[in-house]
Chain A
Amino acid sequence: GESVGLHLPTLSVQEGDNSIINCAYSNSASDYFIWYKQESGKGPQFIIDIRSNMDKRQGQRVTVLLNKTVKHLSLQIAATQPGDSAVYFCAENIGYGGATNKLIFGTGTLLAVQP
């Protein structure tokens, strides 16, 4: 069935270090992926996205890598800050460009930044 899962449920890093959050997806037909950040008491916040015709995309302090061969995504956060502490979800966009625009989320990774 459809599923997007994460390898590490909890990641603890020191402030200033780089963080890497991993995600595996199962639908080989998926062609659009998004990373969301969810802080306590808030809805998911868009971080960065990537289409399947790319293998890397960079934003401000964040980079997403896509390996379609092994159906794997990763989110890299440079110089992690206390404000980065949150749960991070990767999501697979089913129906991208079509009639239905549906996100399939994994269970999330809790990123805890130690001062």
Chain B
Amino acid sequence: DAGVTQSPTHLIKTRGQQVTLRCSPISGHKSVSWYQQVLGQGPQFIFQYYEKEERGRGNFPDRFSARQFPNYSSELNVNALLLGDSALYLCASSLDQPLAKNIQYFGAGTRLSVL
């Protein structure tokens, strides 16, 4: 079975532009989470979506938004890009069954460079 897939793998943008990143979860997984990983640091939680609804949001500005589609795939949008948005953006999916540990499985990420 395919794991979590993300596209594109690399992206270069300039300040002020907008970007859309895409994620397809593991088949059967209904929950998708997004993380930002700055070089040399651990991933930071941005969003979690389940059944098309936002379940959690990290400490990120409103320039960051996301959505989940009926097929459970997801998009992360970032508007008005800043240099500091340069990072690896990771998508993770999980089964998200109630009262169960829900291991999050990660994709390879999208490397965003803002110039």
Q: Is the CB of B101 within 8 A of A93?
A: yes
In the complex, chain B residues 45-104 whose Cβ is within 8 Å of any chain A Cβ: 45, 48, 55-56, 58, 90, 92, 94, 96, 98-104
Q: Is the CB of B101 within 8 A of A51?
A: yes
Q: Which size class do A's interface residues fall under?
A: 20 to 34
B55 to chain A, nearest CB (A): 5
| Interfacial chain B residues near A45, Cβ < 8 Å | 106
Q: Is the CB of B44 within 8 A of A101?
A: no
Known contacts A89-B42, A107-B40; A101 and B48 CB within 8 A of each other: yes
- Measured in the bound complex, the distance between the Cα atoms of B44 and A5 in whole Å is 13
Known contacts A43-B109, A44-B106, A45-B106; A97 and B42 CB within 8 A of each other: no
Would you list 26 pairs from A and B whose C-beta atoms are within 8 A, ordered by A residue?
A4-B42, A32-B101, A36-B106, A42-B108, A42-B109, A43-B92, A43-B106, A43-B108, A44-B43, A44-B90, A46-B103, A49-B103, A97-B99, A99-B56, A100-B48, A101-B33, A101-B55, A101-B56, A101-B94, A102-B56, A103-B35, A103-B104, A105-B35, A107-B41, A107-B42, A108-B42
- Measured in the bound complex, the distance between the Cα atoms of B108 and A97 in whole Å is 26
Residues of B within 8 A of A (CB-CB), count: 30
Footprint of B on A, CB under 8 Å? 4, 32, 34, 36, 41-46, 49, 51, 89, 91, 93, 95-97, 99-108
Footprint of A on B, CB under 8 Å? 4, 31, 33, 35, 40-45, 48, 55-56, 58, 90, 92, 94, 96, 98-109
Q: Which residue of B lies closest to A50 (CB)?
A: B101
B109 to chain A, nearest CB (A): 5
Known contacts A43-B90, A97-B100; A103 and B105 CB within 8 A of each other: no
| Interfacial chain A residues near B42, Cβ < 8 Å | 4, 89, 91, 105-108
Known contacts A43-B4, A100-B48, A104-B45; A49 and B106 CB within 8 A of each other: no
